[in-house]
Amino acid sequence: MKGIAIGLIIFLLFLPSTQVNAQIFIPFSFWGCSVLDFTDNNSGNFSEGTASNIAWNGTDMALTIGQTSGTYTSGVVDKRRCNAPFSAFTEFSWTSILPYGKELPSTSELTTDYPSLASSTLMSSVAGVWHLNGSGAIADGATISSGGVGVNGVARNANGTGLTYTTTAKLLSAVTFDGVDDRIDLVGYTQTSVTQYTISVWVRSNGTGNRVFVQNRGAGPGRSLTLGMGTNPGGCTATNGRVSFGLDSDTIWIGRCASAGAINDNNWHHVVGVWSGTAGVAVAATQFTIYIDGVSVATTNRSVGTAPNAPITGSGDTKIGRHDAWAVFYTGQLDELAIWTRALSATEVEQLYRRGANRVKFQIRACVSPDCADNPTWLGPDGSSSTFFTELNNNNIPSTGLGAVRTASPVMTYADFISLILPNTQYFQYQMTLESDSTTLVPSIRSFTTSY
Q: What is the pTM of this model?
A: 0.89
pLDDT tens-digit map of 397-409: 999 999 999 999 9
Q: Where are the domains of the chain?
A: 26-61+72-101+359-451, 126-341
Does the pLDDT of residue 4 top 80, yes or no?
Answer: no
Residue 237 binned pLDDT confidence (cut-offs 50, 70, 90): low
SS (H, E, C) the chain: CCCCCCCCCCCECCCCCCCCCCCEEEEECCCCCHHHCCCCCCHHHCCEEEEECEEECCCCEEECCCCCEEEEECCCEEHHHHCCCCCCCCEEEEECCCCCCCCCCCCCCCCCCCCCCCCCCCCCCEEEEECCCCCCECCCCCEECCCCCCCCEEEEECCCCCCEEECCCCCCCEEEEECCCEEEEECCCCCCCECEEEEEEEEECCCCCCEEEEECCCCCCCCEEEEEECCCCCCCCCCCCCEEEEEEECCEEEEEEECCCCCCCCCCEEEEEEEECCECCECCHHHEEEEECCEECCEEEEEECCCCEECECCCCCEEECEECCCCEECEEEEEEEEEECCCCCHHHHHHHHHHHHEEEEEEEEEECCCCCCCCCCCECCCCCCCCCECHHHCECCCCCCCCCECCCCCEEEHHHCCCCCCCCCCEEEEEEEEEECCCCCCCEECEEEEEC
pLDDT of residue 159: 84
Domain range 126-341, CATH architecture? Sandwich (2.60)
- With beta carbons less than 8 A apart as the criterion, state whether 49 and 431 touch: no
- With beta carbons less than 8 A apart as the criterion, state whether 431 and 69 touch: no
Does the pLDDT of residue 6 top 60, yes or no?
Answer: no
pLDDT tens-digit map of 18-76: 333 332 222 333 344 444 322 222 223 323 688 899 987 878 889 999 999 999 998 88
- With beta carbons less than 8 A apart as the criterion, state whether 94 and 449 touch: yes
- Of 357, 360, 446, give the one whose Cα is nearest residue 112: 446
pLDDT of residue 375: 96
Distance (Å, whole) CA 282 – CA 277: 8
Rg (CA), the chain: 24
pLDDT tens-digit map of 260-298: 889 999 999 999 999 999 999 999 999 999 999 999 999
- Cα angle value 8/13/18 (rounded, 5°): 125
Which residues are registered as beta bridge partners of 249?
252
Residue 335 binned pLDDT confidence (cut-offs 50, 70, 90): very high
pLDDT tens-digit map of 417-427: 999 999 988 88
269-276/252-258 β-pairing: unpaired
